[in-house]
Each structure stands twice: as C-alpha cells, then as structure tokens.
Structure 1
C-alpha cells in the first residue's frame, strides 16, 4: 500500500472509529446514569469481561487468517481461495457452538471462582449466572464476524470492520434509552447479543461483493487449516493472557468495595479512548501491508512501514496520555457525573485514571509490534511476552492494591505493560537485524517534549477555568474544549518545528488537496 493510500485509509478508518467511540461514550454515560457504581453495573462488567476473554480465540483466528488468505489471493485461483474460507467458517462455527454450551454449564463455577464479591448475596450470584449465560450466545456471531472481517481486511477493505463499534453501540443506546426500566440488566444482556449480531450483518454485503459466498464444506485435515490452527494457538494464548489480566484485575477489584469493578472499568475505558480510536485503526490498516511485504520478502519496505506505524502511534498516543492525565477530573465529570454516578464515583474513577495513562502509550506500541511479529509468522514471541506481563502484573497487584486500592491495580497495569512492550521492541530489533532503534528513540523524545509543553499549557488553562466556573458540567465542558483547541495547536506547532516526518507528510498532503480545489 502506498504512503498516500495508507494515510487516507487510516484517516477514514479513524473517522469511523471516532464515531463509534462517540456512541460508546454516550452508551457508557447512559450505563452510569442507569446503574451507577453498584453491584448491578459490576455484574454486567464482570460478565462482558468473560465474553471478551473468550473472544480471544476469534482474535487469534483473524490475526492468523489474514496473512494466509492474503497468500491465497496472491497465489491461487478463486475456487481454492473460497474453499479455504468456507472450511474456516464451518469448522470454527462448530467449535464455537461446543464451547458456548460447555461455558453455559460452567457459569456457576466461574462466578464462584472469580466473582467472590457476588457470592456474598444469593440474588447477586443468581443474576450473575443468568447474565453470563445470556451473553455467551454472542460467541457464535463473534466467530462468524471474525472470519468475514479477516476476509475484508485481506482485501484492504477496512471501512465495514471499522464501523462495527458504531453499529453495536447504537443498539446499546436504543436499549438504554427506551427499554432499561422495563427489562433491566437481563434485557441489557440480550442487547449485547443483538449488538454482536449487528456487527456481523454490516460486513456481509462487502463480503458478498468479493464473491466468496457460502458452501457447507468442512475438511479438518486440510493442510492450510492445520497451519492456521498451529499459528493461532500462541496468538490465542497471548491475547487470552491480556484479557485474563483484565479479568484478574476485576477479580481483585470485586473484593475492595461496592462499585470498584465499575470504577476500574470506567477508568480503563477513558484511558483507552485515544488508543481505541487511533492505535487500533492504524494497526488494522498496517497489518495487511506488513503481511504483504513479509510474503514478498521485501524487508526494506517492511521495516519502512513498521517505522511509519510506530511513529504515528507515538504522535497520537503520547499527547493523548498527557492530556487525559491532566484533564481526568473534568473528563470524568462531563461524561459520567449524572444520575447514580455521584461525586464519590467521579473522584474514585479519576484517581484510578491517573495511573492508567502510561499504559495507553504501551498498548498502542504493543499492538503494532504484535502485528509485526504475526506478519512474519512468529506468534510465539508475543505469547511469551504476555505471559511475563501477567506474572509481573499479578505480583504488583498483590502489593499495590493494599496501598492504593483500585489506583494500585491501574498502576500495576501501566508498569507491567511498559516493561513487556520495551522487551518486545528490543526483541523485534534483534530478530529483524535492526529496525533503527535510534530513529525511534529520537522521535519518541521529540514527541515527548512537545507533549510536555502542551501539558503545561493545558494544566494552566484547566486550573484557570475551573477556578472561575467550578468543577461542574459547564466548567468541565468549557475547560475540555479550550484545552483541546489550544493544546492541539501548540502541540502540532512544536512537532512541526521539530520536523517530525509523518506530520510534515500529512501537512504537505493537505496542501496538495487544498491547491487542487
């Protein structure tokens, strides 16, 4: 993919993700208003965490499927390509149905083992079990969606996969506005299932236009399927460990105080705002490109694309982490302080958010590095690093949760994710016999300096506005808007002066478009 196409596709993908994130913010605000920081909200967050943990299999499938299908597109005819896709769809669907049935039977023991805080009350326990069983129905739609989005991305079709969040959050919003009072938490669990079905549906028209269709073909002995499964296992383990880490954090939080799981979850959602909008979009677009260069053994272009992805991640995630750290209180107030979500909940969430911020940068870089390893068929290295990360995180949790409560859990996550991301970068540098670490470090320091100056500016602006207007909805809104405008202008001016390559390219691209018009 050319540099021009990479930037344009990335921007469109980010736009769809931004719209989805706006809907997600509305959804979270409605959830906070309807359920607050209570056991009802904790039960939902705990249950959806189990679903996300199980979806790591689907993530592993999509990740390993894309390079293999890219190879089929390049080297085989349509019939062989379609046969491979149909085999994956049918085999994986049967596997998912079996897993769903097994997990439904084990749901009571899952709550007993990991949801200690819910076993103290028989009503909360029974609700947890029922909600988990309902949400597990989502897995079949997730499994189908994972293959179909993999097909689309291997053809460099990113818009429908990027729009999935927008569609699913629209389902949530409709339920929360119109049906919560009548159907409560059980209805919300069913809405979750419908939201995943909606994600599948929006990908089907593009899938059909690529002429894949569907046939009930299964061959478990197919060499390509066996190869995919062998590559999948380390990816599944790696991603499962990341989700398991989040799940363990929730288990620690469930034993701190009522609403601690929700505090942890909301602080994580705020922390990953920029990550989910930008980093995931960039990783989505760059992965097929890395896979293409890896298949063609073009190491020069591969490294060039990788460096471009890393730099773009730094340009976005470093200032975002600084800004969210400084503006955490007005951000939490504006988004969630209403209904059952009171001043206490705002303070707990914003305090936890402060220590989450460094993890945002690590998450973004980790995703790019993972894709780099996967594209060269090394799925074991990310798995080993994830395993090391979860051990570090659990050890830190044990000590920090006693000192800092939920904030200790978020600090532990930041420390562990930073350590394993640096280790991964150095390992990839060694594996590829050099990826220009000096260039990456120089770019990082330049961007960090620009973000620090921006941080000082928005800190002063925020304090002045809050001093005059108070920490209320209006004061928070005005502060955030003012800081966004002034902070962004100051930041981009500094990195332009510092001659960051990717910013210079985007500015020149905009100039060309303007001159054409």
Structure 2
C-alpha cells in the first residue's frame, strides 16, 4: 500500500472511530436520561460487562487468525484459503454456542457469585438473570464478526471493521429514543444483541467481494486450526486484563450501593475516550513496523521505533489525563447529567473519574509494550503480567473500597495498571539489552511539565466558568470549549520550547500532509 494511501486510510479509519465514539456518548447520555444511576442500569452494565469480558476471546481469535490467513493469501489457492476460513468460522461458532448455552443454564449462579448484590431482592435477582440470558446471545455474533473482520484486515480492508461501533450505536440510539418507554431495559438488552449482529453484518458484503463463500467444513484436526487455537490462549489472557479488572471492579461495586456499578462504568467511559480513539490506533500502526524490524533483526531501528512510539503515546495521553481530571465535573455534566441522572450521581461519577485518569497513560504505554512483545514472538510475558495486575487489583480493592467506595475501585485499577506497565517495561528493557530508558524518562518529564502548565490554565478557566455562570450546563460547555482550544495552544507552545523530538516529527508530518 503506497504512502499516500496509508495516510488516507488512517484518516478515514480514525474518523470512523471518532464517529463511533461520538455516538457512544450520545447513547450513554440517553441511557443516563432514561434509566439514571439505579439498579436497572446496574443490571444492564453488569450483563454487558460480562459479555465484554468474554469478547476478549474474540480479540485473541482475530489476532491469531490474521497472520495465518495472510500466509494463505500469499501461498495458497483461493479454494484452500476459503476452506481454512470456513473451518475456523464453524469450529469457533460451534464452541461459542456450547459455551453460550452453558452460561445461560448457569446464569443464576453467575449472578449469585459475581453480582451478589442483586440477590437481596427476589424481583431484582430475577430481572438480572433474564437480562444476562438475553445478552449472552451476543457472543455468537461476536465470534462470527471476529473471523470475518480478521479476513478483511488480512486483506488490508479496514473501513468496515472501523465502522462497527458507529453502526451498533445507531441501533442503540434508535431504540433509546423511540422504544424505551414501551419495552424498557429488557427491550434494550434485545437491542444490544441486534447491535452485535449489525457489527457482524456490515462486514459481510466486503467479505463476499473478496471472493469468500460459506461452506460447511469442520475439521478439528486441521494443522492450522489447532495451531491457531493454541496460540490464542496466552494472547487472550494477556489482553483480557482491562475487561477482567473492570468486571472484578463491578463485582465489588455491586455490593456498595445501587447505582455504584453505573457510576463506575460511566467514569470509565469518559476516561477511556481519548485512549480508545488515539492510543489503540497508534498501537495498530506501530505493530507491523515493529514486526518487520524484528523479522529483519534490525534491533537498533527496532529500539528507536519503540521509544519514539512510547513518547508519542505520552504526548497524547498525559495532557488528556490531566485535562479530563481537571474538567471531570463539566464533562460528566455535559454527557450524563439530565433526566434521572441527578447531581448526586454526577458528583459520584466525577469523583471516581479523577482517580481513573492516570490509568489512561499506563493503558497507552502498555498497549505499545504488548505489541512490542508480540512482535518478537513473546506472548508469555504479557500473560504473566496480566495475572499480576489482576491479583494486585483485587488486593488493593479490598483495602480501598472500605474507605473510598467507588473511587477506591478506580484508584485500585490505576495503581495495578501502573505497576504492570512498569514491570513490562523493565522486562522488555532487559530482553532488548537496554532500550534508551533515559530518553523515555526525559520525554515523560518534559511532557508532564508542559501538561502541568496547561492544567493550571484550564483549572482557572474551569473555576471561573463553573462558579460565575448560573447555568451549570452553559458553564460546562464554555469551560470545555475554552479549555480545549486555549489549553491546546498553551500545551503545544510548551512542547515546542522543551524541544521534544517526537513532537517535532509530528509537526513535520502534518506540514508535509498539508503541502501534499
């Protein structure tokens, strides 16, 4: 793919992701408006969280499928390639149906163990079981989508996979606007299943255009299939830490008060907004570069690319974390505070969000480190660190939840994420016999200094807007608007004077794109 085409594709993919995120915010605002922070939203968020926890399997499926299908594209006939794809579709769907059926059968026990707070009231318990049973049906479509998007990405077709969140959020918004009053949360659970189906369906036309046709093939002894499913295990474990930590936190929150799970989830959604738009995209771009350099054994350039990637992530994520921490009240007000989501819920969510913010930086750096380990064919180290992170998170949860409630859970996640990220960086530094930690640390200090100056400015702006303007909504909008534009200028000016190499590289790339 030529350079200009790569730039064009990256921009379109980023726009589709941003579009999906904007619709996600609209969806969450509508959920807050219709259901508030109550046991109803707790049930929905708990059930959705359980489904998302299991979708980490689909990530492992896609990650291991792409390189194998790429080999078939290069070296096999279309007939053999089509057989491989159909075999993976049928095997993975078969096992997913079995797992889904078992989970539906034992859904009462799942709620009792992981959502024990719902069992105090018989009606609430019954409703929770019903909702999770409906939403577990999504897993079949998630599996199908994982293989089909893997096919598209192995052919370097990224637009449809990038548009999945946008399409499913349209389904949710239509339901919330027109059907909530009639069918309630049960109907929304059904709409969620439909949303996952739509995510799968939008990929099918492109899939067929690439020449793939469905046939029933199920060969569990196939060498490629067995190899792929074995490789999935460490990748699934190492990439599931975020969802698993969220699910563990939901289980703790479920026993604090009704609405605690919703407060936890809403604070996390704002916190991960910048991370999911920028950090994940950067990690996707970096992965093939690191893999290519590792394959060529060009260790010097590999280390340079890795360090530059970490610093670029920090250039984005550090100021984003500080800005979201300072502007947490206006952000929560603007996105969620309406209808049944009142001032108390808004303040609780803002407090939880504050302690989540540093985790955003660690998430971004950790993703780059994960890709670095995968590029040198080491899936074991990320897997071990994931286990460490989960154990640390649980221990700190037990300590902090007594004193800080939901905020304690978000702080525990931040601490565990930082610890595992530092451990991974230390391991990678040893594995590579040094990777210029001095440059990373220097970049961290310069970026943090620039971000702190920006933070002081937007704190003053936010204080004036929120205290001098009588309408909390107008004050929130002005605070966010002024802080974003003026704060960005101050931050970039500070970066310019600190002379960070990666910032100068980004500026040069932007100038070149404009000139082209």
| 1:153-181 CA distance string (max 9 Å, x none) | 23332222121111111111000000000
Distance (whole Å) between structure 2 residues aligned to residue 217 and residue 22 of structure 1: 40
Tell me by how many angstroms 1:82 deviates: 3.2
Q: SS of 1:218's equivalent? A: coil
2:226 is the alignment partner of 1:226: yes
**Which residue matches 1:107?**
107
**Which residue matches 1:65?**
65
Range that drifts further, 3-12 or 220-229? 3-12
TM-score, with length taken from structure 2: 0.95
2:41 is the alignment partner of 1:46: no
Q: SS of 2:447's equivalent? A: helix
Q: SS of 2:283's equivalent? A: helix
**Which residue matches 2:122?**
122
Q: SS of 2:419's equivalent? A: helix
**Which residue matches 1:192?**
192
**Which residue matches 1:151?**
151
Q: SS of 2:106's equivalent? A: helix
Question: Would the alpha carbon gap of residues 212 and 15 (structure 1) be closer, same or farther in structure 2, given more than 3 Å must change?
Answer: same
**Which residue matches 2:451?**
451
| Contact kept? 1:234, 1:380, Cα under 8 Å | yes
Q: How many residues align?
A: 516
2:468 is the alignment partner of 1:468: yes
Distance (whole Å) between structure 1 residues aligned to residue 290 and residue 439 of structure 2: 20
Question: Would the alpha carbon gap of residues 332 and 75 (structure 1) be closer, same or farther in structure 2, given more than 3 Å must change?
Answer: same
**Which residue matches 1:497?**
497
After superposition, residues 211-360 of structure 1 pair within 5 angstroms as 211-295=211-295, 297-360=297-360
Tell me by how many angstroms 1:85 deviates: 2.2
| Contact kept? 1:6, 1:286, Cα under 8 Å | no
Range that drifts further, 83-92 or 23-32? 83-92
| Contact kept? 1:156, 1:285, Cα under 8 Å | no
**Which residue matches 1:365?**
365
| 1:286-305 CA distance string (max 9 Å, x none) | 33444444455554554444
Tell me by how many angstroms 1:33 deviates: 0.5
2:508 is the alignment partner of 1:508: yes
**Which residue matches 1:165?**
165
Distance (whole Å) between structure 2 residues aligned to residue 245 and residue 210 of structure 1: 38
| 1:84-137 CA distance string (max 9 Å, x none) | 322211211111111111111010110111111110111111111111111111
CA RMSD of aligned residues (A): 2.0
Q: Which runs of 5+ in 1 are unaligned?
A: none
Question: Would the alpha carbon gap of residues 10 and 440 (structure 1) be closer, same or farther in structure 2, given more than 3 Å must change?
Answer: farther
Question: Would the alpha carbon gap of residues 174 and 272 (structure 1) be closer, same or farther in structure 2, given more than 3 Å must change?
Answer: same
**Which residue matches 2:383?**
383
**Which residue matches 1:430?**
430
Distance (whole Å) between structure 2 residues aligned to residue 295 and residue 84 of structure 1: 25
Distance (whole Å) between structure 1 residues aligned to residue 397 and residue 58 of structure 2: 28
Q: Which runs of 5+ in 2 are unaligned?
A: none
Q: SS of 1:119's equivalent? A: helix
Range that drifts further, 23-32 or 147-156? 147-156
**Which residue matches 1:179?**
179
Q: SS of 2:340's equivalent? A: coil
